[in-house]
């Protein structure tokens, strides 16, 4: 069962859904295992002793329906790319402590194998911190169950589970290193650490942990913004630089001053940007990006386009930023204004980049694979409805509100219920994370939104008292900067009425891992669950138009 996240109603975005598509898999004859090596030699890369200009694009296997992995990789090759870069998402693979999932959509090894079959080298960025506009920057939220843990530091409460994760990842990916005949030519150490802190001991631990996991006979490197190189690099380890449109000249100049010898590569060239709830869709300057790519390739620089194809952040895995003290969650769509749009269709930027790459490589790329036309889903009826109140299950009882992490929950919603025996006027919640609907005796009386720094409202509790319900949605944990170290969700501090703390809470966890089986009525008021079914003559892609809808989540 796949989930599609739909967030705040103040932004109307169309989310792409791949209902299903059967793709032909071409199986190539097995070849004798050959050892290959990518090394950094002065200002360039050498692959098996020959110069290699890395022309890469970023794609994330979790953001692309598995049925489309080969299609997207073929389109990368058809644009002229010779390499694909991907993050690995710890919290997607170990959502429950000690339980690892590399199946289905999480089969990162198969994604890499297909890239190799399509003639592409692969750069793996295993983190375990990845940023990526992804929930908590890739960290599993169960880490917060350890009191006092300091994420992304040399704190052994953090490094111990992180090392276990990397060791487990090594079992999956070390057989795919180029030195063993696979397509993985390089691995990134951590991720833009210079933008976060300056702790050489932590970086040395990270480097050692990757080697312990088996990533030894492969090029290891660091990546940082140009002004953060000194804080995020490791002596003797190659460094590359990340930057956005218009900054190539200045960023490479800083990299060259910082490291006279070493590869000249943009680890991330931001050829687009991400979207946040409350803001419009990002539109970047494709013509300027094309000119800048042209100039970088002409100088022999290597580059990784971030993103080549963004896709969709399925489920509840979008991240968030804190910008000038304000919380900004990201959207489900990770279109990124990339060369391939969210649905995997080439844009004008794709063809501009393709022409530039062909001119510099002097070779013709394969033909661009066709994109299937979208299909129309016939009208269908919502046949089942159930009030949320009717499916709550057994509560956790607590004297005070507890965060999602305190009760073993990562994503979705959480409901806090108490009975107020006396009247009151001002309800204050510290801190609500991230969006709360407040109900008095089952009737909604207001909302609080972390994005707007809201923490109190008038409730007018009658003298005889009332039942108070607070339904809180996790809109995405911060994925960048120091605030991620305390990104607990739900109600993380206290609830007061006219200054007095409310107690005796019932807490209902609603992780929304899968939709309920509904046996309810055909109508419901307040928060509710709706279910309908439809039949298709043939499978294909379609788009979900949420204009005119309210706020919630959709499963297909």
Clarify whether 117 is annotated catalytic.
no
Opening angle at CA 310, ends 2 and 24, nearest 5 = 65
The DSSP symbol for 277 reads: T
Cα torsion 121, 123, 126, 132 to 10°: value is -120
Q: What is the DSSP letter of 285?
A: -
C-alpha count within 13 angstroms, C-beta hemisphere, residue 163:
17
SS3 245: coil
Q: Where are the beta strands (DSSP E) in 396-519?
A: 396-398, 413-420, 424-433, 435-440, 443-449, 456-461, 466-473, 490-497, 500-501, 505-510
> 15, 543 in Cβ contact below 8 A?
yes
Which residue has tokens 């710890």? 90
- The Cα–Cα gap between 388 and 529 comes to 7
Compute the chain's Rg from CA coordinates.
Answer: 25
Contact between residue 95 and residue 367 where contact means Cβ atoms under 8 Å apart: no
How many other CB atoms are found less than 10 A from the CB of residue 302? 21
Q: Which residues contact 242 (CB under 8 A, 6 or more apart)?
A: 192, 223, 224, 225, 251, 266, 267, 268, 269, 270, 306
Cα distance between residue 276 and residue 7, in whole Å: 10
Q: Which has the closest alpha carbon to 399: 265, 502, 290, 543?
A: 502
**Active-site choice (172, 192, 228, 292):** 192
**Residue 268: active-site member:** yes
The torsion region of residue 297 among left (phi > 0), alpha (psi -120 to 50) and beta comes to alpha
Q: Report which secondary-structure segment, H or E, holds 287.
A: helix 286-298
Q: Find all residues with CB under 8 Å of 486, minimum gap 6, and list them.
A: none
How many Å apart are CA 388 and CA 254, to the nearest integer? Answer: 56
CA distance 412 to 325: 24
- Distance set, CA 299 to CA 325, 361, 416 (Å): 40, 13, 59
Instruction: Check 58, 268, 405, 487 and give the catalytic one.
Output: 268
Catalytic positions, please? 192, 268
């Amino acid at each position: 069962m796949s989930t599609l996240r739909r967030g705040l109603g103040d932004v109307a975005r169309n989310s792409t859904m791949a209902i299903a598509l059967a793709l032909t898999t071409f199986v190539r004859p097995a070849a004798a295992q050959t050892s290959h090596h990518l090394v950094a030699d002065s200002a360039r890369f050498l692959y098996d002793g020959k110069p290699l200009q890395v022309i890469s694009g970023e794609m994330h296997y979790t953001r692309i329906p598995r049925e489309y992995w080969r299609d997207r990789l073929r389109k990368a090759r058809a644009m002229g790319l010779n390499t694909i870069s991907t993050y690995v998402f710890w919290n997607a693979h170990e959502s429950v402590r000690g339980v690892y999932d590399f199946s289905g959509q999480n089969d990162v090894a198969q994604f890499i194998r297909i890239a190799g079959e399509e003639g592409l080298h692969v750069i793996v960025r295993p983190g375990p911190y990845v940023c990526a506009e992804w929930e908590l920057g890739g960290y599993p939220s169960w880490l917060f169950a350890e009191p006092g843990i300091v994420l992304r530091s040399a704190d052994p409460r953090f490094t111990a589970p992180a090392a276990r994760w990397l060791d487990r990842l090594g079992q999956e990916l070390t057989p795919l290193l180029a030195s063993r005949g696979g397509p993985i030519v390089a691995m990134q150490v951590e991720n833009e650490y210079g933008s976060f802190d300056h702790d050489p001991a932590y970086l040395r631990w990270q480097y050692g942990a990757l080697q312990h996991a088996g990533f030894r006979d492969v090029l290891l490197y660091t990546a940082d913004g140009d002004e953060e190189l000194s804080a995020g690099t490791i002596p003797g380890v190659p460094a590359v630089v990340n930057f956005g449109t218009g900054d190539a000249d200045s960023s490479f100049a800083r990299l060259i001053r910082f490291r006279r010898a070493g590869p000249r590569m943009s680890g991330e060239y931001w050829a687009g940007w991400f979207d946040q709830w409350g803001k419009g869709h990002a539109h970047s300057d494709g013509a300027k990006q094309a000119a800048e790519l042209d100039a970088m390739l002409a100088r022999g620089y290597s580059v990784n386009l971030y993103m080549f194809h963004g896709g969709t952040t399925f489920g509840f895995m979008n991240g968030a930023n804190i910008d000038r003290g304000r919380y900004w969650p990201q959207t489900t769509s990770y279109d990124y204004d990339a060369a391939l749009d969210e649905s995997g269709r080439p844009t004008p930027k794709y063809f501009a980049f393709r022409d530039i790459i062909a001119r510099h490589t002097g070779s013709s790329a394969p033909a661009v694979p066709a994109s299937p036309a979208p299909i129309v889903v016939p009208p269908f009826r919502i046949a089942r409805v159930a009030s949320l109140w009717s499916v709550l299950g057994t509560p956790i009882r607590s004297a005070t509100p507890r965060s999602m992490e305190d009760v073993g929950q990562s994503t979705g919603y959480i409901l806090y219920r108490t009975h107020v025996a006396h009247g009151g006027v001002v309800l204050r919640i510290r801190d609500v994370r991230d969006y709360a609907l407040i109900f008095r005796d089952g009737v909604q009386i207001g909302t609080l939104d972390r994005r707007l720094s809201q923490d109190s409202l008038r409730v007018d509790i009658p003298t005889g008292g009332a039942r108070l319900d607070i339904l809180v949605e996790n809109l995405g944990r911060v994925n960048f900067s120091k605030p991620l170290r305390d990104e607990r969700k739900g109600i993380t501090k206290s609830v007061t009425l006219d200054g007095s703390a409310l107690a005796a809470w019932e807490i209902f966890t609603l992780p929304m891992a899968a939709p309920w089986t509904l046996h309810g009525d055909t109508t419901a008021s307040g928060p509710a669950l709706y279910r309908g079914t439809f039949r298709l003559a043939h499978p294909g892609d379609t788009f979900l138009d949420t204009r005119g809808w309210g706020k919630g989540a959709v499963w297909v």
